[in-house]
Amino acid sequence: MSTELGSKLAAPDMAGAWLREQILAHLTTPKTWEHDRNAYVSASTVYRCQRALKYSQTRDAAEWAGNGFTVRGDTMEEWLCKVFARIEREFRVIQQQDIWFTAIGDRQETLRDEALRISATPDGFMRLGDTGEVVYLEIKSIDPRVVLNDPKPAHVAQCQFGMELCHRLDHSKPQRALLIYVDASDYADITIFEIPRDPVVARELLRRAQLTHAARTYRDLPAEGLAAGGAECSDCALRDECTAERAATIGALDPDKPAMAADLLDELDDLARDRVTAAITEAEAKRSKEALGDRIRNILEEHGTSVAQTPGYKIRYSVTKGRESFDREAAEADGLDLSPYLRRGNGFPRLTVTENKD
Ligand code: SF4
């Protein structure tokens, strides 16, 4: 056996850096699927930006080995399945109630409609023997910083699409789903939303899936991520392309076009008023956030501490590293010609709404 590695890792800080790199390299085992995932629109992707989805289908899905978030979700699901087993034992064996869980954990099944090329992998089903009801289960681990007043639209869509597929395949007839959110930092912090089956919503999702399949290339599909505010675009490979396309579309609009119809102007007026009101509320919330932050910092400073653990929060007051910056003026004053290195980024859409003063 070689002794090279031990010698290499003997140097200060090497062992930790090496182990971190190895953990990241072995984070997940690449999942193997019985079907070609690129050929299907699944419950978990049907609500994605259609263009991004089509683009992702052109890559080799077999290479997808997940990431840290996938591991977090898988680990939590594994734990929850053990909890389901304990619930089942308590109610079925001890209390003699007819309730059991199926297709959970490593017994999950992928349901596929070959004609429509759609699929879903439910996280399980809760079966109630006395009524014969089958409840669809969808499990999500959620970042503790997320405020969860309502279920996430993408997760609701996932439940609706999955239930629809169950009905189409005559697999079971769930009329409702339980969407289970487990706080990733505290597994006892659980929020469950009941999602009643809605065939109208399901039909619309099926239509989306068919549009995705029908498109020849991703360019034929709308850039929905940008239209929805761009949150989905931040780590998308098509970001530059979509932003440039949007800028070109805006550039081609005619500012001198004849006035719009009165009803359209009324609608725009209402939207502009609501937007201005929202901007005021946003500014007030920002001011309030800053004032509360000042008060927290003052208390910590008066108390001479940088950390506080309250019943609900951990508060830490620290100094982050300053950002590196580039002093262009100084470089040019030193005679450096930077012009060969200058690049102009894509323009980005900007909407301004100001109130008429007269
Ligand atoms: S950049 Fe945004 S809009 Fe474009 S494909 Fe990606 S997610 Fe969709």
Q: 């089509």: which residue's tokens?
A: 54
Q: 């182990």: which residue's tokens?
A: 19
Question: Mean pLDDT, 10 residues at a time, over the chain (358 residues)?
Answer: 80 87 84 79 95 85 66 91 94 90 92 95 94 96 90 96 96 95 94 96 96 94 89 90 89 83 91 92 91 92 89 84 84 88 74 78
- Atom number in ligand 1 closest to CA 236: 6
245 CA → ligand 1 middle, Å: 11
**From atom 8 of ligand 1, which residue's Cα is the shortest distance away?**
225
- CA-to-CA distance for 123 and 166, rounded, in angstroms? 13
Q: 């959110």: which residue's tokens?
A: 181
- Atom number in ligand 1 closest to CA 239: 1
- Atom number in ligand 1 closest to CA 230: 2
| Per-residue model confidence (pLDDT) at position 250 | 86
Which residues line the pocket of ligand 1, CB cutoff 6 A? 49, 51-52, 223-226, 232-233, 236, 238-239, 242
| Per-residue model confidence (pLDDT) at position 66 | 66
| pTM confidence score | 0.74
DSSP conformation letters of 58-118: TS-GGG----HHHHHHHHHHHHHHHHHHHHHIIIIIIS---EEEES-GGG---EEETTTTE
| Per-residue model confidence (pLDDT) at position 170 | 92
Question: Which element (helix H / strand E) includes 179?
Answer: strand 176-183
| Per-residue model confidence (pLDDT) at position 65 | 57
| Per-residue model confidence (pLDDT) at position 324 | 82
50 CA → ligand 1 middle, Å: 8
